[in-house]
Amino acid sequence: MHDPRIDRLARQVVRYSTSLKRGERVLLDLFDVPEEVGIALLREARARGALPFVQLQTNRILREYWSGAAEEELQVHARHRLAEMKDMDAYIAVRGSHNISEYGDIPQKQMNLVTEHTRKVINHRVRRTKWCVLRWPHPAMAQQAGMSTEAFEDFFFRVCLLDYKGLKPAMNALKRLMEKTDKVHIKGPGTDLRFSIKGIPAIPCAGEYNIPDGEVFTAPVKNSVEGVIAHNAPTIYRGVAFDGISLEFKKGRVVRAESAGGGTREINRILDADPGARYVGEFALGCNPEVRDPMRDILFDEKIAGSFHFTPGQAYEEADNGNRSKVHWDMVSIQRRDWGGGEIWFDGQLVRKDGKFLPKSLAKLNG
């Protein structure tokens, strides 16, 4: 039986997130998703008069390809993908995964090589096309979240079909506040962190690029980060799971990185990928009222209500502090009272306590 929520989701992605217009070319990049998803997107794109093109991928085959690919293969592959992307006006990716650790046994050196070449395609897509990326709720994701398949599917559609437009006024208010701020001070269990965001734009994200969505991001002034941070949300990076990551910063650089759940050596190997990997490229506040707990999927976890994320590696062009890296690793901390609490101060003013924004103009972001 066809699920009508798939049609609603396709409509939201095509009409709201990417706002496809007549005659625009859109690449539909589908990873391990049901045929109904591709069909719904094709029909919705054509109803708008757009010209859809389809690319089907599977994670197991991609793992096999990446594991053994020589640099020449990756160069040719990236060149062809880049040419394809340059021919598109928009990009929509729906990514399912039967196993979140599918890439976990690819050697780090090989993954760095893959990232080096795929980054060119990603950068063009981000800078030059309209785009939207979302997950698909396979049972493996439900298992990650500790939920039944049916309950997780209900959660997925509730989160993805949120009234993002209704959050925009409060998100814009947060943007204005962040752009007036110089000094940020974050306090919580194991965390005492100070840095500047002066002069760097803040970008509200309300369903135009990622679904689910719900964050406002900027970046710290590159050399300004001082102190310690203890991340209480589990994370996964390139297929490897980590728990209890703690970082210490001096003059913006990570000088100590540890994981309470093991993997300290692997964390440092990732952060040694290049000089920029030990500097932070993003600071963001999560505010999706429907996303409450982590599930090792960053598209969801970075939007958790009452959270923030601090990201070693590459800065975004829209909020650029000049940091460049192959790495972009969003590490999430939840500051709601049920997760230990915490405070965020802007220029000496307490703006969020235990995950709740205090200014009236931001109350809508509290859920």
Q: Is residue 239 pLDDT above 90, yes or no?
A: no
- pLDDT confidence of 104, banded at 50, 70, 90? confident
Q: How many domains does the chain have?
A: 2
- pLDDT confidence of 108, banded at 50, 70, 90? confident
**Would you state the pLDDT for residue 297?**
87
Residues 205 and 344 in one domain: yes
Q: Is residue 195 pLDDT above 90, yes or no?
A: yes
Interval 178-196 mean pLDDT? 98
Run of H or E including 265? helix 264-271
Tell me the CATH number at 41: 3.40.1830.10
Interval 261-266 mean pLDDT? 88
Residues 135 and 175 in one domain: no
- For the chain, what is the mean pLDDT? 94
**Would you state the pLDDT for residue 238?**
79
Residues 240 and 264 in one domain: yes
Q: Tokens representing 290?
A: 């429907």
**Spacing of C-alpha 224 from chain mean position:** 23
Q: Is residue 270 pLDDT above 90, yes or no?
A: yes
Interval 170-182 mean pLDDT? 97
**Spacing of C-alpha 20 from chain mean position:** 23
Domain's final residue, options 103, 125, 160: 160
Domain's final residue, options 160, 188, 223: 160
Residues 110-131 have pLDDT tens digits of 988 998 898 888 888 888 899 9
Q: Tokens representing 241?
A: 């799971």
User: In which domain, by residue range, is 266 found?
Assistant: 164-366
